Structure 1
């Protein structure tokens, strides 16, 4: 008997602000820009891409491209999307003692 699989969309499980916040925190943990963009895309789909398009002034196709995780969206686009979703980007000092650029 063949294995039966089902389509899974994370957006269907983001029904509360707490779930969305935890999802975005987990996705941004490693600092990977593609993970962050994709997570913002999932949240945008959960909330409604049309509303996000209206609030950011970006077209829906441009948002889908930028938030696919496969592209290379501009930092300004990511910041604008995060703001429209009610979040802001925040930089924190690494606690793992990783490399730090210093002035010479």
Structure 2
């Protein structure tokens, strides 16, 4: 019998790879939807461990959780901190 994993379990495994996390965040960013980008960033942080990500981003675990919640509105500094803690950096490209 096949064993099935939940979508979140699959993402938690895949998004620990910085290349996959970058692809995931880029796909979310292409939608130009702040809520979607925030949800994707939260999923990447969760995959890498909220406590570890929070510590590396100089935040408390609860502070990170609140910042990345649906009602969260992270400061740019926090956004970059979570990216860096996940082994990622931001880059820009022209719109085509």
- Band of TM-score, shorter chain: 0.7 to 0.9
Q: Distance in 2 between matches of 1:85 and 1:76?
A: 14
**Secondary structure of the corresponding residue to residue 45 of structure 1:** helix
Coordinate RMSD, CA, aligned = 2.2
Residue number in structure 2 paired with 1:24: 25
Task: State whether structure 2 residue 90 is matched by structure 1 residue 77.
Answer: no
Greater Cα radius of gyration, structure 1 or 2: 1
Higher relative contact order (CA 8 A, sep 6+): 2
Q: Report if the CA contact (8 A) 2:45-2:86 is conserved.
A: yes
Residue number in structure 2 paired with 1:51: 52
Superposition TM-score, scaled by structure 1 size:
0.70
- Unaligned runs of at least 5 residues, structure 2: 1-5
Q: Deviations over 1:45-104 (max 9, x none)?
A: 111111111111101111111112432111111111111111112222211xxxxxxxxx
Structure richer in helix, relative to its length = 2
- The count of corresponding residues between Structure 1 and Structure 2 is 90
Q: Report if the CA contact (8 A) 2:28-2:37 is conserved.
A: yes
Q: Report if the CA contact (8 A) 2:45-2:53 is conserved.
A: yes
